[in-house]
Amino acid sequence: MPGERLPADNGQAADASMTRRKVPALLFCATLLACLIALTMQTLRMFELRRENASLHVATASLDQLRLDNAELERLRAAARQAEGAQKEQQELEKLRAEVEQLRAIAQELPVLRAESQRLAAERAEAAAKAGVVAEVDPFAEAKRRAQRLSCIHNIKQICLAAIVWAHDHQTASLPADFLTMKNELSTPKILTCAADTARIRANDWPEFDGSSVSYELLSPGADPRDPDVVYVRCPICNNVGKVDGSAQQLAPNTRVEKVDGKFEIISPSTPPKPAQP
């Protein structure tokens, strides 16, 4: 009979009702679990990102330190190169100063040699006069001319070296524009009078120097010492020249000094002519 099955239907209905009540709870729990899992994953990811960020900070700090260390290394290298260059320059300057002092010592001996030569010539002339013979040509004349040319070369050498020392001491890339500018390096104005120049009287010191005792021509005032072919000073009497690199020489008869492209240079017969400028 239909009435006898009611208890079973009631139990099924109760189970269905219980299941319906549990489903939301289960869904909530599942949702909560999913949220917890997601939160945990996000937390782990955040910790991972923090570790990566900390590693990046450490790497950045290391990179900055490396940059600083590299900059310091380059600075030390530059300082070392500068110190080495300054040392070489100082050694070269000391060498030039020593050469100037040597030339000054030689120049001081020349008047003694000249006086001795004149004394010997006078004695020879006196002996010839007592013997009643005509005096021969002075055998010391050529030696005297050689001594004068040598003295002139020494003067020019001192002038050029004094100019180089002056440019170094004043840290400039140009040699002096006149002789008076480098008087401290020349030490005495006697150097400016050639021994073969009989038309001028030497000035013994700078207070009495007025320029009239100068035998030498300053061809390239303010010249750049890094251009070694430029002639800086010339003696028109002995045909001696001095270059901006400190060298001095006597020119051969067929050799001359000419202005080429605005600079005084030595022109020898073997020097090929430069092409004409368009």
Q: How confident is the model at residue 65, as a pLDDT? A: 82
Residue 69 has pLDDT above 70, yes or no: yes
HSE of 100, CA atoms in CB hemisphere, 13 A? 22
In a domain, 234, yes or no: yes
Nearest Cα neighbor of 268 from 259, 277, 258 is 258
Burial class (CB in 10 A: 0-12, 13-18, 19+), 217: middle
Q: Which of 19-33, 41-55, 168-182, 219-233 comes out lowest in average pLDDT?
A: 19-33
Q: How confident is the model at residue 238, as a pLDDT? A: 92
Q: Which of 74-78, 99-103, 242-246, 264-268 comes out lowest in average pLDDT?
A: 99-103
State the residue for tokens 């001192």. Answer: 158
Under 8 Å between Cβ of 116 and 159 = no
pTM: 0.53
Under 8 Å between Cβ of 198 and 133 = no
In a domain, 67, yes or no: no
In a domain, 4, yes or no: no
Residue 276 has pLDDT above 50, yes or no: no
In the predicted model, what is the mean pLDDT of residues 43-68?
Answer: 82
Q: How confident is the model at residue 197, as a pLDDT? A: 92
Confidence of residue 220 (pLDDT cuts 50, 70, 90): very high
Q: Domain limits at 167? A: 114-131+139-267
Residue 215 has pLDDT above 90, yes or no: yes
How is residue 234 annotated by DSSP?
A: E
In a domain, 161, yes or no: yes
Q: How confident is the model at residue 191, as a pLDDT? A: 92
34 or 3: which carries more pLDDT confidence?
34
Q: What is the mean pLDDT of the chain?
A: 81
In a domain, 84, yes or no: no
Q: How confident is the model at residue 278, as a pLDDT? A: 45
Tell me the per-residue pLDDT of 225-268, one tens digit each, with 9 for 90 and over: 888 899 999 999 999 999 999 999 999 888 889 998 889 999 88
In a domain, 227, yes or no: yes
**H-state helical runs in the chain:** 6-131, 141-169, 183-186
Q: Which residues contact 203 (CB under 8 A, 6 or more apart)?
A: 189, 190, 192, 193, 209, 210, 213
Q: Which amino acid is at 171?
A: Q
Q: How confident is the model at residue 277, as a pLDDT? A: 46
Confidence of residue 109 (pLDDT cuts 50, 70, 90): low
In the predicted model, what is the mean pLDDT of residues 1-6?
Answer: 49
Q: Which of 53-62, 97-106, 172-181, 186-195 comes out lowest in average pLDDT?
A: 97-106
Confidence of residue 56 (pLDDT cuts 50, 70, 90): confident
Q: How confident is the model at residue 25, as a pLDDT? A: 75
137 or 10: which carries more pLDDT confidence?
10
How many domains in the chain?
Answer: 1
Q: How confident is the model at residue 217, as a pLDDT? A: 94
Residue 68 has pLDDT above 50, yes or no: yes
In a domain, 91, yes or no: no
Q: How confident is the model at residue 272, as a pLDDT? A: 61
Measured between alpha carbons, how far is 233 from 260 in angstroms, rounded to an integer?
16
Measured between alpha carbons, how far is 107 from 116 in angstroms, rounded to an integer?
15
201 or 23: which carries more pLDDT confidence?
201
In a domain, 159, yes or no: yes
Q: Which of 58-72, 102-116, 193-207 comes out lowest in average pLDDT?
A: 102-116
| Two tokens, residue 42 | 């996000």
Q: Which residues contact 123 (CB under 8 A, 6 or more apart)?
A: none
